[in-house]
Chains A and B, each alone.
Chain A
Amino acid sequence: MADQTLRAWLLTDTPTSRRHAKLSALYQGWLSFRSNTMAMVGLGILLALVLIAACAPILAPHDPFAQDLGNRLAPLGAERHVFGTDSLGRDILSRLIYGARITLYIVALVALIAPVVGLLVGTVSGYVGGWVDVVLMRITDIFLAFPRLVLALAFVAALGAGIENAVIAISLTAWPPYARIARAETLTIRSSDYISAIKLQGAGGLRIITGHIWPLCISSLIVRVTLDMAGIILAAAGLGFLGLGAQPPSPEWGAMISEGRRFILDHWWVATMPGLAIFTVSLAFNLLGDGLRDVLDPKAGE
Chain B
Amino acid sequence: MSMVRIDGLDVWFGRARDRVNAVRGAAFDVARGESFGLVGESGSGKSTILRALVGLVPTWSGHISVAGQVLAARRAKAFYKQVQMVFQDPYASLHPRHSVDAVLGETLSLHGFRDIDARVVKLLDDVGLGQRFRFRYPHQLSGGQRQRVAIARALAPEPELLLLDEPTSALDVSVQAEILNLLADLRQEHRLTYLMVSHDLSVVGHMCDRLAVMKEGEVVEIMDVDALRAGHATHPYSQHLLQASV
Contacts and interface: CB of A to CB of B under 8 A. Distances in A.
Interface of A: 13-18, 20-21, 25, 192-194, 196-203, 207, 211-212, 215-216
A199 B140 CA distance: 24
B211 to A, nearest CB: 24
A211 B106 CA distance: 10
Contacts of B244: none
Interface stretch (B28-36, B59-67, B88-96, B175-183): B88-96
Given A193-B93, A202-B80, A216-B97, 7 more contacts: A13-B140, A193-B87, A193-B88, A193-B89, A194-B96, A201-B80, A201-B107
Binding site secondary structure of chain B = loop
B235 to A, nearest CB: 32
B109 to A, nearest CB: 9
Nearest to B100: A21
Nearest to A20: B135
Interface of B: 54-56, 77, 80, 84-85, 87-89, 92-99, 101, 106-107, 110-111, 132-133, 135-137, 140, 150, 153, 156-157
A211 B99 CA distance: 13
Given A14-B132, A18-B101, A196 B110 contact: no
Contact of B135 (A15, A192, A199): A15
26 contacts: A13-B136, A14-B136, A15-B135, A16-B135, A17-B135, A18-B99, A18-B101, A18-B135, A196-B93, A197-B85, A197-B150, A197-B153, A198-B95, A198-B106, A198-B107, A199-B55, A199-B56, A200-B80, A200-B85, A201-B80, A201-B110, A201-B156, A201-B157, A212-B95, A215-B97, A216-B96
Contacts of A194: 92-96
Nearest to A212: B95
User: What 4 pairs across the A-B complex have the smallest Cβ distances?
Assistant: A193-B93, A21-B135, A15-B135, A202-B77
A18 to B, nearest CB: 6
User: Binding site of A, secondary structure by majority: helix, strand, loop or mixed?
Assistant: helix
A215 B102 CA distance: 13
A296 to B, nearest CB: 11
B94 A203 contact: no
B30 to A, nearest CB: 18
Contacts of A202: 77, 80, 110-111
A25 B137 CA distance: 9
Interface centre among A192, A194, A215 (most CB of B within 10 A): A194
A192 B92 contact: yes
A146 B217 CA distance: 50
A128 to B, nearest CB: 15
Nearest to B81: A202
Contacts of B110: 201-203, 207
B97 A200 contact: no
A16 B150 CA distance: 21
A201 B133 CA distance: 22
A21 B85 CA distance: 28
A203 B111 CA distance: 9
